[in-house]
Amino acid sequence: MELLNNHRPPITAGLIPPSLRDARRPHRVLERHWFVSRSGFFWILLGGFFEPFFYLVSTQLGFGSLIDDVEVGGELVSYVHFVAPALLAASAMNGAMYETMNVFFRMTFDKTYSSMLATPMTAGDVVLGDVFWATIRGGLYSAAFLVVMAVLGMTSSWWGLLLLPASLLVSFAFAGVGMAIATFIRSIEDFEYVPTAMLPMFLFSATFFPASSYGRFEWVLNFSPLYHGVALLRALNLGQFPPSIFTHVVVLFALAGLSIVLSAHRIERALLG
């Protein structure tokens, strides 16, 4: 960005708030969170490991034997292979979203951001730092999930390794969304709306049924952010690369980008009045 910027402001100048352009220290936010959580980190990871374990084992024992194979991109796969990557996407989403709900407290009661903003840090640092932190947390959950999937034989091939960067992207997108949502939360009561919105998204993102079963409403799926994660991970797990995965990647990046810009505006408005 700096290289392009000779005297003329870059085209993006109007879109990207100055606090983001001036962000140089998002890693300091990570450092602060690491200081806070390092003592309990092992337990967080362990929790992140058991949750998918129970999910996947129950899927395998339960639906796996009851439900017929499903067609994905012209390939017939077992239901377990169909559902596991979708659950991985949901886990990447949940890990990131739940972490970003802390943003509300850091903005208000804890005053974490206020004291950061009195230093050379900017609102952009704060937003990027917290989005990265939530992405890492979601990513660690995904990694644990992926290990369980591999051990239970739910990855199809070595293509499964691509699921890690892809689920990091899902975490990144939802870390952004979660951060932006958290900046709109006015009081603790508002938190109740978050799971209310997340549950239908979890159920209706081609998670448990193939997209084709949505019939003439299939296009609606495109409006579910999670669907793009599910479809991406499902294709990659089978080593399929249809052109649509490009769309999914772009949508997820766009979601993260827009959320980050919006969050920076919100934080500035709330704390730098």
Partner 1 sequence: MSGSEGTAVITAKALTKRFGDFEAVKGTDFEVRAGEAFGFLGPNGAGKSSTMRMIGAVSPVTSGELRIFGLDPADDGRKIRARLGVVPQQDELDEFLTVKDNLVIYGRYFDIPLKACREKAMELLEFVQLADRADSKVQPLSGGMKRRVTIARSLMSDPEILLLDEPTTGLDPQARHVLWDRLYRLKQQGVTLVLTTHYMDEAEQLCDRLVVMDQGEIAAEGSPAELIRTHSPREVLELRFPAGTNAEHAPKVEGVGARQEVLPDRILIYADDGEAALSEVHRRQAVPESALVRRSTLEDVFLRLTGRTLVE
Q: What ranges in the chain are assigned the alpha helix state H?
A: 18-21, 26-37, 41-61, 63-66, 79-100, 102-107, 112-117, 123-151, 163-184, 193-203, 225-237, 244-271
In terms of CB distance, is 37 or 212 closer to partner 1?
Answer: 37
Catalog residues that contact partner 1 under the rule CB under 8 A. Answer: 22, 25, 28, 31-32, 35-36, 110-112, 114-122, 271-273
Shortest distance (Å) from residue 18 CB to partner 1 = 9
In terms of CB distance, is 33 or 228 closer to partner 1?
Answer: 33
**CA quadruple 176, 181, 185, 190: dihedral sign:** negative
63 token code pair: 């639906």
Shortest distance (Å) from residue 16 CB to partner 1 = 16
Shortest distance (Å) from residue 122 CB to partner 1 = 7
Cβ atoms of 129 and 30 closer than 8 Å: yes
Shortest distance (Å) from residue 120 CB to partner 1 = 4
In terms of CB distance, is 19 or 155 closer to partner 1?
Answer: 19
247 token code pair: 């769309």
Rounded CA separation 146/178 (Å): 23
In terms of CB distance, is 28 or 265 closer to partner 1?
Answer: 28
